[in-house]
Structure 1
Amino acid sequence: MRAPPMAPIFRHPFMTERLHRLAVAICGAGHSGSTLLGLVLGSHSECFYAGEAKKTLFIGNLEKPRRKRVCKICGEGCPVWSRFTQPPEPDVYAQVARLTGAPVIVDSTKKVDWLRARAEELDAVGVPHKRIFLARDGRAVVNSRVRKYPDEDPRQVVDGWAAQIRETQAFLDERPDDWMLLRYETLATAPEASVREVCAFLGLSFEPEMLRYQTREHHPLGGNTGTQSVVARAGDVDDPAFATVPERSRDYYESLRGGFRLDTRWETELPDAVRELFDARAGDLNAPFRWDSSC
């Protein structure tokens, strides 16, 4: 297996002390593009994208499915996660920073209780915790969930999306100066402007290589297999651990070679009955996030 080109390890001048100086949480609902944004941010010379860092709790736990406890690209032989120790000391992000040499760690875990606990740890050592609310039209999110889990009750899917959005908004409201809103649809259609805005919010310089995320080396835990398959394919990874796209989405992702494409499959896939159910139960909540691709 040949891995993608290794980005130079960033050497921070305070490496003998605490290397980690910023944590970034990509918040919101699943199926909203957080893997894409994470890979973009992880392509910055000062950043490492951990994927869903809560899955560090599964590392070494043989009772958990393999795909949930190893790197989605490398598997057990990952140069990062194979060296991760459990429980992490002094904390998850500090250990990942030491293992990767990156002072900025990006986490796309959506569970608010996890993010709140990490924020409390970071407060104790004086490390900032920035949050990016990556929002997507809820109808697209529900469609992705229904496609992936066709046996789920659509009512529960809709209510689950609404509950996650409300919980995320409450979490963000706790620190109104520490978060920004980014639309998935804007990221997909105006990537450079979007990434520049995110970099400015995080206090990072924009690097053009971030837009060529598929050419960089990544080691995510969890996340969207389809988006990860683009990275694996671009890096000539002959046998990616789990970045193999299921049949239901294979045609869509195999046509991608990196870059950005607005995913509007929901407009033709979402059944009318589910669309009506969504509008009735969550239409008002979704109003700020609605996207009309015809405009």
Structure 2
Amino acid sequence: MREPRMSAIGKGPRRRGRLVARAVSPPRRNLDAVPSPRTAPGASYAAPRAPRLVRSPVFVLSSVRSGSTPLRVLLNSHSRVRAPHEMHLRTLHVNLSREFTADAMQARELDKEELEHVLWDRVLHLELARSGKDVIVDKTPPNTLVWPRLHRCWPDARYILLLRHPGAVVASLTDRRRHPDPAAVHAEVLGYAEKLEEARNSLDVHVVRYEDLTAEPERTTRGLCAYPGVEWESGMLDYGTKDHGAFRPQLGDWSPAIRSGRIQAARRADPTAELPPRLADIARAWGYPVGAPPRR
């Protein structure tokens, strides 16, 4: 006898439960999911860059648990700026499934990486077209781990570097996890911090501190608007009156704080909390206070 089908009402809570479980668990693998090398092993062809439909997108580079969702909804509240939920472009791949496919694409001056770039570009363009806006911002924290690939795809891209005290990131990530492993949390936060520091020293970026965004939202959003060259709008600060799509796991923050529609005060880092030496060094380089390094 066949089992009765689960009702749509039953499926929803179970699916949401799975998404929440994944979101509060450590990553099952390295998030540095760099899509495909420039050329396949043994291949020598590297395609020229195709024309882009979106010439200069804006990417928010940040660690996880750094306030990128509040930043997104503030930007998305602007009449000219489209900042959708996390797009995870780096996980969007092209599969050349037959041995002759690469030859066929080479005849079109395309290789696997450039095909993926064309796809990513089309996704951004479609998002802009549907929104009726003219500036697009992608805020997917793991983009930070693959920023050189984004820079290859869009040499004219612009970057907002969103910083938060690494100690506060560690505390937030620890609170979010069900069974946190302190060493694993420190390693994850350090991985993001290293790539952020790399980007800070390699790219022309607009730096924003999460602590400033929450303490002085008008001043900070005025600077954010000046960066892509749009006029500041006071309605940005009232993001709760706008439609920003679903707040759900794996597409950004979904906590009561973001659902409140109001900017919340930033959680401060514990000045006595010990950080690994390299993470403490990066925090100091970003201008954050950190306890004195241990004596050797």
- TM-score relative to the length of structure 2: 0.62
User: How far does residue 118 in structure 1 lie from its aligned partner after superposition?
Assistant: 3.6
1:146 aligns with 2:174: yes
Correspondence for 2:78: 44
- Residue by residue over 1:105-132, the C-alpha shift from the partner in whole angstroms, topping out at 9 and shown as x without a partner, is 1111123355443433334xxxx41111
Correspondence for 2:60: 26
Q: Which runs of 4+ in 1 moved over 6 A?
A: none
Structure 2 unaligned segments of length 5 or more: list them.
1-51, 93-117, 291-296
- Residue by residue over 1:205-250, the C-alpha shift from the partner in whole angstroms, topping out at 9 and shown as x without a partner, is 10001111111111267111116752xxxxxxxxxxxxxxxxxxxx
Query: CA RMSD for the aligned pairs?
Result: 3.1
Contact 1:31 1:144 in 2 (8 A): yes
Aligned counterparts, 1:20-169, within 5 A: 20=54, 22-54=56-88, 88=119, 91-111=122-142, 112=144, 114-123=146-155, 128-169=156-197
Contact 1:32 1:135 in 2 (8 A): yes
Aligned counterparts, 1:183-262, within 5 A: 183-219=209-245, 222-226=251-255, 230=259, 257-262=260-265
The alpha-carbon distance between structure 1 residues 121 and 280, as it changes in their structure 2 partners (threshold 3 A), is: closer
Counterpart residue type for residue 264 of structure 2: R
SS in 2 for 1:222: coil
Structure 1 unaligned segments of length 5 or more: list them.
1-17, 59-86, 231-256
Contact 1:133 1:179 in 2 (8 A): yes
User: How far does residue 283 in structure 1 lie from its aligned partner after superposition?
Assistant: 1.7
RCO greater where, 1 or 2, for CA within 8 Å and sep 6 or more?
1
Contact 1:20 1:102 in 2 (8 A): no
CA distance in structure 1 between the aligned counterparts of 2:255 and 2:243, rounded to whole angstroms: 16
SS in 2 for 1:45: coil
Q: How many residues align?
A: 211
The alpha-carbon distance between structure 1 residues 160 and 53, as it changes in their structure 2 partners (threshold 3 A), is: same
User: How far does residue 265 in structure 1 lie from its aligned partner after superposition?
Assistant: 6.5
- TM-score relative to the length of structure 1: 0.62
Identity among equivalent positions (%) equals 26
CA distance in structure 1 between the aligned counterparts of 2:86 and 2:139, rounded to whole angstroms: 5
